[in-house]
Every structure is written in structure tokens, then in C-alpha cells.
Structure 1
């Protein structure tokens, strides 16, 4: 019984010892790591030294270093630099480049530690920190340039690796051609939206700084289009950073003729426009632009194409006739000179431009006869396919051959329809518009004196006299009917030379001294009413027609 008791105690003691040894062995299996040293080489590169004291007894799935801006950096919050899973105990020296931190703000302090991951979790070494060097810029030279120019940015950059450096001009990435710790050389990029206030920024790693001064983008024009067209053609110059603000002084030269550039800044300052001036002196124009006193010549010339007169509306025309030229390849309306058209050697004023049609009136200064019609636009003078025969107006006669003031007279001859003419009856003038090409209707003018006169038609400085004479008749009363009547009786007065209007301004009638109403009037008859307020008795009838007063040779008797 005692023996069995001692045997149980011994077994229990052995079990406790084995259990204690098993626990001690399990603690020894955890990895032990040290982060020994941490040095900043540049804003994007560091050196770190670690030590794996013990790997532990479990399979390693990953190990390396983890860095970040958080003092408690770990593999979930920081950036891992994995060295794989094949690990051995001992010191590790590692250079880490392209340092970036996932934060929109730059933190000057960077934290790092060593890590090792196995199936039980992740073990870490202690956290070390380092101050990353701050980049800076001191100057930008030159501070202006065009696309493709090389620009030097001086400062402290702590790297000679151009792949670590990003330079932007108004957020447009530039090509870095050279980098040293103290300077960066970049090529001015295309597509920069701006001219005089371009911001240049340098980014290395998580650090971004801008230069203290703005960069001025010089305009750079590379081409123009179209390469041909009539004067007035709008030419577009394309390139980079072309400002069209009021203080820009850009000129285009077409041969020896200058034209200022204008236009919108859209899209992205890449174009400006001008038009081919009307006064260019040749058809093949060398093209250049002058920007800030610097001339750029283009290899291509602009070819000025001539206009073409395809048709003329008439080959015969009187003075004052409207002639229309139908053309092609015309410039815009504002680019056709007022005196661009000539009849023979005489310039004529342009009346209208309607699309491809130019119209003008034949002036009286042109000689009669067959004349060429030409159009001069820019360096080109072209001619109508047919010549124009200029003719004088003719007056062959008139009808009737006599009449009083206000009488309508038809003059026969050759006229321009719907044209105003002055017609002379002796020295008295009337104006009229021709109703057709063969006749002109006019009335004998007011205040013309009775008698035989010549009839002449005037247009401009040309006056043509009709054959024969016209007899101007003075108004006269030959009779009236009835010869008596009560008030209200309608009386017809017969005669010659009456003004054909019943308006009181032209014709008035009195019975004795009492005026009455004119019902109607023509050149030979006036109808009136015996006034109601006239006293009974015999009296004269007085007619005032167009300023002349006549009295009836016999009396009219008013009865009760």
C-alpha cells in the first residue's frame, strides 16, 4: 500500500517536470528581431539595418521592413518592404528607394521597424525614426521659354536619379533630362494652359514644392492654314501658348504687308487668327510672324487666288442703269474696296454686295460706247466675259402737245425703269419716276407760264431736249350750265387749263363773293354747287386755279 503511494507521487512529479519543460520550449520558439539603424539618404531613399536574433521554430511566410508616418507603424498601416520568406538569422542591411507615404500632407519624420510573419502572427523589432531632408528651390533660369526649351531649376534635391523627380508646369508633366543634388534640367512641355503666370512645381517622393517665381511661356507658332484663298481669307496660326490678350503684340507678315493676330484662347492658347489684307501686292506671299521682336519665317507661302467674274447682267446700259456682276472666289464683304470696279479706266462706286453679286450704277462720267468692266481685288485685276455698251438716254417725243398746269404728259424715249428724272418745261422743273424703259410720265409744273416751251429730260449732268414745243395753256372759262338756279343747284363750268384736282389748295370757285364747294375738277370741267348763303341776283363766277384767277364772261343768276 505504501509502495503504491510512493509510485503515484513519483509519476506526478515527472508529469509536472515534463509540463514545465514543454512550456519553456514553446516560449523559445518565437522569433526575436532588432531594428538597429536608420539613415536618410534623400527624400526618397533610406538605409536601414536590422538583426534577426532568432527565426523561431515555425515556418516564415514573409519578413522585411515596414515604414510610415505613424510612430506605431505596422504592416497594416505602413508600407512593407518584403524580403521574401527565405530567412536566416543575422544582420540585414537594406537600401530602400522610392519612399512614399499614403498621406496628402508631407511628414518630415519617417518611422521604420523590422517585421517577420509566421502562422502565429507577426513579430516586430523596435521602431526607429529619421528626419527626411527637405527639398528646396533657389532659382529658375531662364524664367521664360517656349515649348521644347531647356530650363534649369537650382536648389537642394538630394538625388541624382532623374526617375525620382517629377516637374510640372501648371500641372503638365515635363521631361526631366538631368538631375544632380543641386539642379534639375527639364524640357518645357506642350499643352500648358497659360502664358505669363505658369507655376513650376517639383515633386520628389512625398515632397512637393513650387518655385518662388512664375514661369512665362513664350508663344511658339508652328504652322498656318489654309495655304491659299482670296484676300480676306481668315488664316489660323497654330502652336503653343498663344495669348490674344490686349497687351499681346503679335503680327503676321504676308509679304511686306502686316496684319495683327487676334482670336480666342480656346482651346488652351493653341491658335490665333488674322485675315489676308486687301492691299497685298503679290499673289505668292511669304509668311512670317513677329512675336516680341523675334521673326519666325514659315517654309510655305500663301497663294492669293483671284476672283472670277462669271457673268454681267447686261451688255447695254443707259446712264443710271444698275449693273450686277456675278462672281466667284470673292472675299468677305468688308474686303471689297468701294472703287474696286472700273468701267474702262474709270472707277465706279460699289452700290451693293449680295453674296457673290456686286452691283453698281453707270455714272454719267463714263463715255458712251463699248467699255470693258474690271474688278480689282488684292493683287488681281479680272475682267467681265462681255463688254458693256454705255448709252445716252433718248427723247423722241411727248403727248399731248399742250395742256395747263397739272396736265399729265407722256414723254417717249429710252429710260431706266424706276429711275428719277428732272423734266423741264422751259425753265420750270418737275420730277418724275419712269414707269418703263420707253416712257416717262410727268405733269406740267406749278407756276409755269403760258406759251410754247421746250421739253427737256435731265439725268445727272446730261440733259436731252425733245423735238417740237409744248404749249402751256392758261386757264379760261368758256361757258357754264345751267345759267341760273336756286342754292344747291349743280353747275358745270367748262373751259381749258383747269388744274385737274378738286382740292381747295389748287382750285376754288366763288359765286360773286361767296365761295362754294368743288365737287370735281379736270382740265376742262369743274362741277360746283350754288352756295346756300348767296343772295339772289345776277353775279359773276370766279375760278382760282393753280394760282391764277379767271372770271366768267357772263353772269349766273341765283333765283329763289
Structure 2
């Protein structure tokens, strides 16, 4: 050591050489190929006689013949050839029935049993294909005068097309999986090579859209991606992974509903149908904040109830799904979520929701969800202070008084100046936001000056006015924006007839419905089925002279087509009138009552005198969809909902709801086509009172109409009133 120190140049040189050796050794280790393990997976044939060639199949083999020795029943056998996957051995003379052994690299491998006999399966062609493929099986000892040969593929009997002593042609049977081809003659049997059945059994998922990852499940797939081709209704898909039994592919751009087809090299295989569906939607998430472990409810559409198809992430962390329906998810907030968007993925179709914040304070809901100044609102959630003064609550920025408080509930009063907006709760500097807005809502009376209580229908005009129909008096009254009521059309003495003329010179006979088109023309349906037109100048003319169809109401869609509910002795359903031409094709054996509603996609909702809730589609089909034959009162799904009676209804396009008058329950109900649920807007006692929806009183819910700006109005015949409803 002392000498090395005395000669530093030699020391540095020696250290440098050692370093280079170490680096070289590391590089060598890094570039070395992994050692393949010697593994035997199959051998064939398992029978024959002297000179039969036995093929041993596997991996990790060496092509150097000198490294192998083989014995058949203890006798030395010649190793004829060797590759990375196959070793071929020739059966020596004098062999009998017994073991085949292969020695390689000092290890003896027991290959299997060889039966010395005349029967032997030596080769098959082709060695892969779909069910129904004809296989040519070559060998010897196949024919026997007493008993024909039997062929099985992986144990399934195959139909023999032709047979000689050295050649059999057999057909791959249905429901066959990949496996050995075996021939049996009398008591002897011989197993040959495996036949790879190329089949597509199923796909998962079966629904989705662009970018959905779909797994094809089958057999005989090529493990080399490029040798498989997958199409969705003719469009090529990208293959991401491939094994012999599974292919992972991605649905292509522009994917449409249709079959998923597979081509393995030159073999085409037809698969199941993949159905394209819309991505999921999120309409509400509650709460939007809270600690880890909080249960979050996500409301929307397009969720899948099939396990694994719906996934939820909060700020990128997977959330545990506790329950799922097509329209609602319940998930648990994971630990260390932080703050970030909630995302719902259904079969790789992703929709982003609002931001969720992991914190101590959260608002899960509040009730009622609408009201005005002075409305008492109960807020539920977590992390509230039990001291009322330590909770700061605002309604759209306006501070409200907190009357009572627990850790999970606050009772507050909607403040002066309240308007539609979010409720916020701040505790110790931490602020939570409500999952939805508090709606300022209520009832305001426009007029109580209608002349009679026999009013049965009305519609809103284009300039804030209303047109009110009185069947008993055969008259149409106009209510100006200032509330002034005047006779607009029809005989002053209530006389019937088909007289045409301006205003009171025109006559009606038992009018049952009234609507206005985009040009300001009024249309009045009569019980007979006639439709009369009132032009903007007040001119009354016959528009449709109909056969007697027993009209029950009149509706109009967004294309200004008229719909008459009809219930005569020979026609039950509805009539569509386009540019004055009626179409009587919709005889649906229904008994409609009141005005129907036509939603934004043309579906027609109409009631039935014998059933509380029927649903008709514009192409003429008809089915009971909403409610039940028995009357009652219940919100919920289409099948669970109950109505006392179904009166007039209308489509509220801005709210995407069908509004339904339920006079028996003195209620305004709403049908939501997106969620397929029925809810109650308000349900009141009999009387007359303006105020919040929970406090207002109505004498009768006779009809509902919607102004061009989306405002909603109720006709209350008992109080001879038109009343505005906000919600």
C-alpha cells in the first residue's frame, strides 16, 4: 500500500482499469438476453410403429442436435431435427409401448407415453380455422372392415366426410374449443397435433361509442397484433393487445351500431352487435364538499348497471361505487381526494361534472328547494357548528338568519332580497356550496275577472295577453296584460253555429280547446272535431270541417301542427292537422281526455278516460307508460307514479318537462322524459291565496299554458282567475 502511494501515476492507472472493467461488466449484463426456460407443451403422434416421427412442441429449445439424446421405451432414438419450438424424434426398431424421454443440458424430460400400434395420426391440415372447417388427417391404420374410425377434436366427435387407411377428412363440430385431433379405431386410439379453433364467442362491453375499449373473447386469435383485423360495422378498429383467447380493441371514430367482425389472417368471423349509445350526462351532484368517506349522489342519465362498466373518479382518484341505476350513482369519497372535478365514465365515454372539495363542511341538500322571503328552509349536511351564530348562511349572496343548528342540520329563513341562486354555508372560514340552486318561486294572481266559472281552456298570446275559452257559452275572452277582460270572439248571447266573421260575428259550438301558432293565429277545436281559425285581426273562419270524432282537446307542436284528441264511437286516438289537412292514421283505441302534450322530439303524451296515464308515440304506436289504471297520488318512476285525474297538459320546452294538471289532487305535476320520473311542482288545499308554492291555495287546477318567454300560468276556474307560477 505504501508503494502505491509513493507512485500515484500507477495507482490512478490501476483504478481507471478497474472502473472500465466494472462498466463493461454492467453493460454486458444490461445487454444480455433473458434465458429461455426449456418447456414441453405437447407431442404427437402418441402412437405408431418403427420409423414414426414424433414431434415434441414447446419453447426454449436449442437447434443444436448434438445437445439432445432421446429414448422411446428405453431404446435410443434418433433426433431428426430441432428448432426453437420443435424437436422431431424417430421411433427406433424394436420399440414397444412405453415412455418417451428427451435429455437436454443434462436434464431428462418425460415427454409422455408412446403406444406401439398400426394406428397413428401423423399430420393435420389446416391446423387452424373456424367451426365447420374440413381437416385433412394423415396417418395410417385408419380403416377397419368391422368398425369405422371415430374422430374427435378436443373430445368433441367430428363428422367424417371421407376415409381411407391413410387419410381422413373430418369437419370441426359446433361448440368445439382448441385441442388435439384424435382418431379411434376399435380399441386403439392415436392423438395427433392440436387444431386451433378460431372463434369469436362474445364481446364486452356491448355498448359504448368512440374510444370505448372492447374485449373480444374467443379462441385461435393470433398473438401478433398485425395478423388480426377487427371492424365495427365495417370500420377498422385499433387492436391494443392480443392473446390467443382475447383481443383488446378501441372503437373507431364514427362508430355506428352494427356487428363486430374479426379476420384472423384469411379467416373471417362474424361477431355480436355493438350498440352505440350516447355518453352519460350529469344533472346533479350532492354534496359538492365533505370529508373522506362522505356518500355522494350523482344524478344523470346513461349510467350502466353492468358491473365494471361505470366508473367514478374524484380529482383523479377512483371512488367506490355503492349502488348504481341508469339515472343515479352513489359513491364514497376516497381518502386524500383534495379538490378536483368529479368524472363519470361509462365504457370509456367520459363526462366531467363540477368540482368536489374534500373538507370538513358540506351541504347535501335543503328543503323546500323553492320559496320567497320568509320561507323556512332546512339545510342538511356535515360540519356545521351547533352554535347558530357561528354558521354564516347566504342565499345567492344575501345573508340569512340561522334559527337553529346541529352538526348536520341548519334551520334558516329566506332573507329579504332573496333571488334564485346557490345557498352557501361558512363555518370557521370553510365554505360549502349547495349542489343546486334555491329557486325563488311562488304564485301571483294576474286576474280574477273572468266572467264565468265554466271556463275550460286557455292559451297565452304573443304580447302578454291570454285567450280564455268558455265551452258552455261558446265564447273566447281576451285578458290584456293589465288584467282587463273583454269578449274577443263568439256570439255575445252564446248562440252556436258556423257563422264566419270578425270577433263576435263568428260563432262556435261547444269549443273544447284553444292554441296559438307562431304567426299569432288562434285555433279553436269544437267537440265535433271542427277546427276554427281566428286570425290576428279577429276574423273567425272554418279551418278544418271534420267528421264527428268527439274532440277532447287541442294541442300544437313546435312545427305548428295541430293535435286533436278524438274519442268517437269509431275513432279513438288523435288527429294531426298539418296546414289544414287532417291525418286520421292514429286510431289507437284510446279514450283521451283534455289537451295532449308534444315534447321536443315529437312524442305525444295523452291521458285516457279509463286509465290514469297513457303515452302515445307520433308514429301511431301506443302503450300505457305512466301511472296506473287505479287513481291515487304518488311521485316516482313512470310505473310507480299515480294521478288522481289527468287533465290538460303541455310541454315546457325551457324546463324539458311535461306539465300535467291533476285536478283531483289539486296539483301541478311534471313528467321528466330524461329521468322517466314524475314529480309534483305543487299540491295545495282548496282556497285562494298567493305566496310560495308551499303556502299558495287554488280553487281548481283547470289548465296550464306557457307564454313565449317560458313563463307558466294556471287557469283556476273556481276563483275565475289566471295565476302565474314560478318554480
Which has the larger Rg?
1
Q: TM-score, normalised by structure 1?
A: 0.31
Ranked by relative contact order (alpha carbons within 8 Å, sequence separation 6 or more), the top structure is 1
Q: TM-score, normalised by structure 2?
A: 0.25
